Amino acid sequence: MPQLSIWYFRTAILFLIAGICLGLYMSITHKFEATGAHAHINLLGWVTMAIFGIYYALNPVQAASRIARIQYMLYTLGILVMAPSLFLMLTGNPALEPVVAISSLVTFAGVLLFAVILFSRKA
């Protein structure tokens, strides 16, 4: 399997562990204000990253490219900043909204770069 896929799966499982911990915390404490952070950690961090990892496993030539590594770094950086700042914003720190906004755009840039990679693949 390409190294990039391994990195995607390793990063994804860490996000799933974090997302489940947050879900369990909300269930135990009956405090649900961070539901949005939980959902985004699981869906952007676990599900989407695992799909990226599968794609690169099926396309090892593209996985070895510089643009694919940049895509991983951009996307991962975006969620790494977005997840904790979204959690803090939803649990009573509205001042973090600009951080959430900027990191969301970084995450989206990672998604757009993945679209470029997909469409640049030669059949």
DSSP 8-state code for residue 65: S
Site for ligand HEM contains 91 (CB under 6 A): no
Residues in contact with ligand HEM, counted by CB under 6 A, come to a total of: 14
Q: State yes or no: residue 47 binds ligand HEM (CB under 6 A).
A: yes
20 scored as a contact of ligand HEM (CB under 6 A): yes
Among 87, 84, 100, 95, residue whose Cα is nearest residue 32:
87
Is residue 78 within 8 Å of 52, Cβ to Cβ? no
Residue 111: burial class (beta carbons within 10 Å; 0-12, 13-18, 19+): middle
CB of 21 to ligand HEM, least distance (A): 9
Count the Cβ atoms, other than its own, within 10 Å of residue 62: 19
Q: Is 17 in the site for ligand HEM (CB under 6 A)?
A: no
State the residue number with the nearest CB to ligand HEM.
Answer: 23
By CB under 6 A, name the binding residues for ligand HEM: 19-20, 23-24, 26-27, 32, 35, 38-39, 42-43, 46-47
